[in-house]
Amino acid sequence: MKNIAKGFAMLMVLAIALSSCGGGNGAGFEDGVYFAMEDGYSDSGWRYNVTMVVEDGEVSEVSWNGSNINGGVDKVTLSENGGYPMVERGGAMAEWHVQAKTVEDFFLAEQSTEQPDAISGASIHFDEFYALVNEAVEAGPVGYGPYRDGNYTASDAEFHNGWKYFVDITVISGYAVSAHWDAEPEEEGTNKAQRSKDGEYGMVENGGAIAPWWEQARAVEEAFIASQSTDAPDAISGATITIGGFFELAEQALAGAQR
């Protein structure tokens, strides 16, 4: 009898342990909306994100998408519209959005956060997907973000000191996932960010700035993405340029975009 009781107790402990592992076999996920995105952009200019909806302990919906460093539409939409021709130009087995859905469907069927060695029908790298899934599960449900999905832009009405500034913001699952701040010149030439990268706008060399304009602008963009707020902060680490213009344009771009 003692051995039977001991065995039963061990089974109960194992059952409790398995039920608390919300991700190994798909059992026990907390209901809600999960979201995670990468900290920065890859060399290709894309930043990936994952959204999951959990109902009754299982993932009922999952979405893998990407946003570009220059704003614009999300990667799924771009691929669906023919703007990311992997098949035509790269000889891929299928377009990116088709392969991404294959990965999503595999995950929904398996209900496991463990990354497989391969997925039939997907030759794209999917390690970003599983890394983000695990990050989202670890963080827990966060709900949707404050904005409606889409691509939002705004620009100055006039040129100021030879520049007309604009912002381009991408929203996925309610979150601003990309923000691009730049300015077009009144005279011919490249935009301000590119001119800064090319060394033609020498704030550091000529003015002793802490960093080139494009780097400071990137710091402002990332601060906005981190806060998800169009309220300008008093200061942003890594940026000594005037930041109010960015947040004014971001507010214009997102006017009426609240969920």
Q: What is the pLDDT of residues 67-94, one digit of tens each?
A: 999 999 999 999 999 999 999 999 999 9
Going by pLDDT thresholds of 50, 70 and 90, the confidence category of residue 125 is very high
Query: Which tokens sit at 143?
Result: 């709900």
Cα angle 91, 93, 94 (rounded to 5 degrees) comes to 105
What value does the mean pLDDT of the chain take? 91
Indicate whether 17 pLDDT > 50: no
What pLDDT, on a 0 to 100 scale, did the predictor assign at position 6? 40
More confident residue, 21 or 145: 145
What's the confidence (pLDDT) of residue 14?
34
Closest by CA to 181, choosing from 203, 157, 155, is 155
Three-class secondary structure of residue 206 per DSSP = helix
Closest CA to 64 of 74, 73, 78: 74
Highest mean pLDDT among 1-15, 24-38, 117-131: 117-131
Nearest to 63 by CA among 87, 36, 93: 36
Each residue's pLDDT tens digit, 180-211: 999 999 999 999 999 999 999 888 888 889 99
**How confident is the model over 149-177, as a mean pLDDT?**
97
Q: Sorting pLDDT into bands at 50, 70 and 90, what band is 7?
A: very low
- What is the C-alpha separation between 210 and 108, in angstroms, rounded? 47
Helix, strand or coil, per DSSP, at residue 218: helix
Q: What is the mean pLDDT of residues 98-115?
A: 98
Confidence (pTM):
0.87
Distance of CA 127 to the CA centre of its chain: 15
